[in-house]
Amino acid sequence: MAKPYPYFVSLNEAISLCQKTSIDIESETIPISQSINRIVSSDIKAKVNDPGFDNSAMDGFAVVHSDTTSPPSQLSIIGSSMAGSTESHTLSSGQAIRIMTGAPIPQGADSIIPIEDCTVTGDKVTINKPSKPHFIRKLGENFAQNQTIFSSGETMSPEKIALCAAAGISTITVFKKLKIAVISTGDELKSLDDDLEHGQIYESNSYGLAALVEIYGHEVTRFSNVIDDIDILRDTLNEASKTHDCIITSGGVSMGDKDFVRILMEQEGDIKFWRVKMRPGSPPIFGMWENTPIFGLPGNPVSSHVVFRAIVGKWLTSLTKSKDVNNKFTHAILDEDIKTQEGFTTFRRVELFESNGITHARLKGHQGSGNIAGIAMSDGLTVIEPAAKGRKGERCKIILL
């Protein structure tokens, strides 16, 4: 019987169906020191020029270039300009001023000769090579005062935090973190402080999923494991939806009799799609529970991780119109045939290696979707598009892990 919602959709359809569901996210102003992974929500303008003054890129001497074009040439040392010095210096033809990296350029100088190209004797310096005008870092060459250094949607990185500080910016306006609930389901799951009995396993998905939520700049609550009981699951989803902006579950979305996330969503939720043509990770469900977006991820550890990267992360970045900086990718030549299924997007675990200056990818470890060790030790995931065959020698996109 046809399902009353999109069933077994392509990965692209899944991504675009998710994007029809949006959440308004407020902004807040925070210190740059606490901004790693946060997403900028309004343009940031530099308060100062960088550099704020012409300065030296080398330790050496500031000189007049035309004095040095027929080496060796001898100049008189008339002073020193140190980094941080607020004193101003002037020189003219025939003179040199000792200068350190970052120190202001004396008036009259137009180039720098590095110390290694000089011989100093008393108050004279012999310049053994022509001096270099490009060793002067010019006022404003990196960015100018009032220039927009980045725009809404940028994810803060260590480099961008340093750029803010260089631009004199101590606080920035970012999107508030979404509150995301991560809920694991399964009778077999035990917490790390429990002893395992035969048939039980440590619950691990919530840890990986929580870390993924955090690298996407949001706040996570890891709920206690929920046993396979529809009433307890309903209560937990109700509680999570009251206090969170989004719910991510793992387990219980396949065809089994105890797959209660799927059963509950079918009976009482609003399903936007169920099942996606991807390997691994075909069981996910997406919809609304009490007006809260809910992603039901598969229980298999590799699948839950891959589905987060392929679908949930894409949705999160679409909410803030950001680039998905956590799914960095490269391209590599496949070193062997990769098993694919027609119409499916295939994410296999690979290691990368270089041969003749070209990056190649080969399968790494056992490819079972239950094998978290395989993905944890691999360098990346293939992204073999539904129409591609994944044959040895083909160029393939690889998501870097």
- Residues of the shown chain interacting with Mg ion in the complex, contacts defined by CB under 5 A: 186, 251-252, 299
Residue 29 sits at the vertex; the CA angle it makes with 248 and 208, to the nearest 5 degrees, is: 25
User: Which of 217, 252, 280, 284 lies at the binding interface for ligand AMP (CB under 6 A)?
Assistant: 252
What CA–CA distance (Å, rounded) separates 289 from 37? 28
Q: Which does 298 bind (CB under 5 to 8 A by kind): ligand AMP, Mg ion, none?
A: ligand AMP
Site string (345-384) toward ligand AMP, x via CB under 6 A: -------------------------x--------------
206 versus 317: smaller Cβ distance to ligand AMP: 206
State yes or no: residue 204 binds ligand AMP (CB under 6 A).
Answer: yes
State yes or no: residue 205 binds ligand AMP (CB under 6 A).
Answer: yes
Q: Which does 245 bind (CB under 5 to 8 A by kind): ligand AMP, Mg ion, none?
A: none
| CB-count exposure of residue 303 (10 Å: 0-12, 13-18, 19+) | buried
Binding-site size for ligand AMP (CB under 6 A) equals 19
**Shortest Å distance, C-beta 186 to Mg ion:** 4
Q: Which does 189 bind (CB under 5 to 8 A by kind): ligand AMP, Mg ion, none?
A: ligand AMP
Strand ranges for 128-218 from DSSP E: 136-137, 148-150, 171-175, 179-184, 189-190, 201-202
Q: Which of 228, 267, 276 is nearest to 249 (CA)?
A: 228
* 146 CB-near residues (< 8 Å, 6+ apart): 45, 46
**Shortest Å distance, C-beta 251 to Mg ion:** 4
Site string (23-42) toward ligand AMP, x via CB under 6 A: --------------------
Buried b (16+ CB within 10 A) or exposed e, 17-47: bbeebeeebeeeeeebeebebbbbbeebebe
Q: Which two tokens stand for residue 227?
A: 């046993």
**Shortest Å distance, C-beta 204 to ligand AMP:** 4
User: Which of 188, 214, 385, 394 lies at the binding interface for ligand AMP (CB under 6 A)?
Assistant: 188
* DSSP-H helix ranges across 55-193: 158-166
Q: Which does 301 bind (CB under 5 to 8 A by kind): ligand AMP, Mg ion, none?
A: ligand AMP
By CB under 6 A, which span of 12-20, 55-63, 73-81, 204-212 interacts with ligand AMP?
Answer: 204-212
**Shortest Å distance, C-beta 374 to ligand AMP:** 14
Residue 213 main-chain phi, psi, to 5 deg: -55, -40
> Which residue, judged by CB position, is nearest to ligand AMP in the bound state?
299
Q: Which does 370 bind (CB under 5 to 8 A by kind): Mg ion, ligand AMP, none?
A: ligand AMP
What CA–CA distance (Å, rounded) separates 160 from 320? 18
Tell me the DSSP string of 234-262.
HHHHHHHHHH-SEEEEES--SSSTT-HHH
* DSSP-H helix ranges across 186-336: 205-215, 230-243, 260-268, 301-307, 313-319
User: Which of 11, 64, 99, 189 lies at the binding interface for ligand AMP (CB under 6 A)?
Assistant: 189
Q: Which two tokens stand for residue 323?
A: 């680039």
Site string (279-298) toward ligand AMP, x via CB under 6 A: -------------------x
What CA–CA distance (Å, rounded) separates 252 from 365? 26
* 102 CB-near residues (< 8 Å, 6+ apart): 55, 56, 83, 84
**Shortest Å distance, C-beta 321 to ligand AMP:** 32
State yes or no: residue 332 binds ligand AMP (CB under 6 A).
Answer: no
**Shortest Å distance, C-beta 173 to ligand AMP:** 36
Residue 268 sits at the vertex; the CA angle it makes with 263 and 273, to the nearest 5 degrees, is: 65
State yes or no: residue 229 binds ligand AMP (CB under 6 A).
Answer: no
Q: Which does 203 bind (CB under 5 to 8 A by kind): ligand AMP, Mg ion, none?
A: ligand AMP
What CA–CA distance (Å, rounded) separates 103 from 81? 6
Binding site for ligand AMP (CB under 6 A): 184, 186, 188-189, 201, 203-206, 250-252, 254, 256, 298-301, 370
